[in-house]
């Protein structure tokens, strides 16, 4: 990058070059234009925040609203009418609504409750690995990285096993569609199907409740009115979507970087106590959430000398903030022994009111996935170490994940 305009153009268009290495663009923007005006395909005035201190403040700034119903015209232009029915949830709301909705599900994701899931998560991981080929290359993402968290969240919600692949397929369509007419139609159809599915599943829970989170939420809705029907359906979708996709990408990113950094992998194998800090470092270094979900300015705000006008949309580049050299020493180095205070200061799970509800579960699933893989297959390797990583292309730089991860679990000794 030689000029600010080149950096802005790359950020706006999300080119393949940008997807391969967004960190080079972010490094330039942090220096040249830390609050970057963008002209994205949806046409709404948008600003991208890239520095750590700005990002941390913006994540908790009440002037930057998450209530996209308050910006309905912009919201509809970007996501379409079909998204509205699935987005009536805590992710897209401000207090006091956000506080009410979060409180209803918070108890299911406390560290203590999540820790109780450890044996079951370990068992799921082991069974998935039992089914993987050991001597031939295969894609770890569909075989292991995605099924692990989707099985866990579907069990928590009470989604029947035979219906889980449908959930994964539809949520993938919602996440990866773009701005073409064909893509928008596919996205709308997937959103309508997901809404219909969860509406039907909730009806089944009413008729035959189980020992699961969705049955409990349905009882709250029916007994004390703590949820509207729209909020209930939308919350079920949010928990399913957020509860597996970002963790799956994180597991894939983690395996890729460990296999690409043998000294770091060796350190974790020699000292299993490092796996917890290693996951925090991975979230900082190559987290699966590249940018926080949209906010919009309810009044004029200013960051790093740039005025963001009332009504503008705001994206907060978590991946950029987590590699800001003003906050982290040698930020472009992957170091599982990074000092704890710097490591845990990352913004990969957000900050403030909207801090990720599922962070304890994502941490545990990733830790157990890595422990299971690397302890069981000590010679595991990338199928083609010389090939360039294939990163997923998305219309918004929201997720950071691999499109494919070809590995060999037990390479033949030559």
- Per-residue 3-state assignment (H helix, E strand, C coil) for 254-314: HHHHHHHCHHHHHHHHHCHHHHHHHHHHHHHHHCCECECCCEEECCCEEECCEEECCCCEE
Rounded-to-integer distance, Cα 18 and Cα 10, Å:
6
For residues 318-343, give the mean pLDDT: 90
- pLDDT surpassing 50 at residue 2: no
Measured between its terminal Cα atoms, the distance across the chain in Å is: 43
- pLDDT surpassing 90 at residue 377: yes
For residues 193-210, give the mean pLDDT: 93
Residue bearing the bigger pLDDT, 88 or 320 = 320
> At CA 261, angle to CA 244 and CA 137, rounded to 5?
65
For residues 118-145, give the mean pLDDT: 96
Rg (CA), the chain: 21
For position 71, what pLDDT does the model report? 67
Question: What band does 255 get if pLDDT is binned at 50, 70 and 90?
Answer: very high
Q: Which two tokens stand for residue 312?
A: 């503008």
- pLDDT surpassing 90 at residue 102: yes
Hey, what domains does the chain have and what are their CATH numbers? 4-408 (1.10.630.10)
For position 1, what pLDDT does the model report? 41
For residues 10-17, give the mean pLDDT: 61
For position 336, what pLDDT does the model report? 95
Cis peptide before 96 (omega within 30 of 0): yes
Rounded-to-integer distance, Cα 191 and Cα 196, Å:
9
Residue bearing the bigger pLDDT, 366 or 182 = 366
- pLDDT surpassing 90 at residue 159: yes
b/e map 360-379, b = 16+ CB within 10 Å: bbbbbbbbbbbbbbbeebee
For position 368, what pLDDT does the model report? 98
- pLDDT surpassing 50 at residue 414: no
Question: What band does 332 get if pLDDT is binned at 50, 70 and 90?
Answer: very high
């Amino acid at each position: 990058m030689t000029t600010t305009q080149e950096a802005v153009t790359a950020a706006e268009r999300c080119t393949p070059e940008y997807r391969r290495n967004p960190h080079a663009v972010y490094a330039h923007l942090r220096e040249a234009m830390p609050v970057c005006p963008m002209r994205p395909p949806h046409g709404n005035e948008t600003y991208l925040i890239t520095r750590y201190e700005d990002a941390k403040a913006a994540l908790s700034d009440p002037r930057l609203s998450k209530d996209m119903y308050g910006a309905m015209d912009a919201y509809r232009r970007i996501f379409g009418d079909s998204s509205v029915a699935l987005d009536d949830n805590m992710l897209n709301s401000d207090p006091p609504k956000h506080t009410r909705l979060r409180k209803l599900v918070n108890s299911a994701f406390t560290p203590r409750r999540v820790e109780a899931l450890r044996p079951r998560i370990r068992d799921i991981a082991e069974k998935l690995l039992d089914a993987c080929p050991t001597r031939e290359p295969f894609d770890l993402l569909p075989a292991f990285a995605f099924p692990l968290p989707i099985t866990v969240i579907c069990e928590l919600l009470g989604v029947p096993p035979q219906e889980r692949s449908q959930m994964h397929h539809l949520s993938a369509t919602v996440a990866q569609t773009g701005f073409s007419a064909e893509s928008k139609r596919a996205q709308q159809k997937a959103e309508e199907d997901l809404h219909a599915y969860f509406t039907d599943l909730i009806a089944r829970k009413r008729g035959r409740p189980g020992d699961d989170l969705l049955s409990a939420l349905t009882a709250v809705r029916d007994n004390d009115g703590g949820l509207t029907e729209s909020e209930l359906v939308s919350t079920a979708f949010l928990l399913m979507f957020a509860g597996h996709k970002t963790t799956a990408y994180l597991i894939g990113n983690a395996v890729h970087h460990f296999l690409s950094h043998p000294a770091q992998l060796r350190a974790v194998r020699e000292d299993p106590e490092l796996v917890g800090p290693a996951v925090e470092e991975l979230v900082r270094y190559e987290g699966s959430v590249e940018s926080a979900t949209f906010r919009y300015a309810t009044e004029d705000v200013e960051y790093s000398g740039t005025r963001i006008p009332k009504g503008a949309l705001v994206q907060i580049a978590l991946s950029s903030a987590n590699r800001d050299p003003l906050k982290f020493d040698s930020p472009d180095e992957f170091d599982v022994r990074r000092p704890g205070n710097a490591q845990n200061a990352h913004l990969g799970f957000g900050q403030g009111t909207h801090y990720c509800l599922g962070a304890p579960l994502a941490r545990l699933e990733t830790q157990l996935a890595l422990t299971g893989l690397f302890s069981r297959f000590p010679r595991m390797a990338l199928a083609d170490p010389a090939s360039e990583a294939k990163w997923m292309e998305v219309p918004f730089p929201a997720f950071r994940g691999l499109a494919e991860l070809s590995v060999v679990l037990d390479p033949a000794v030559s």
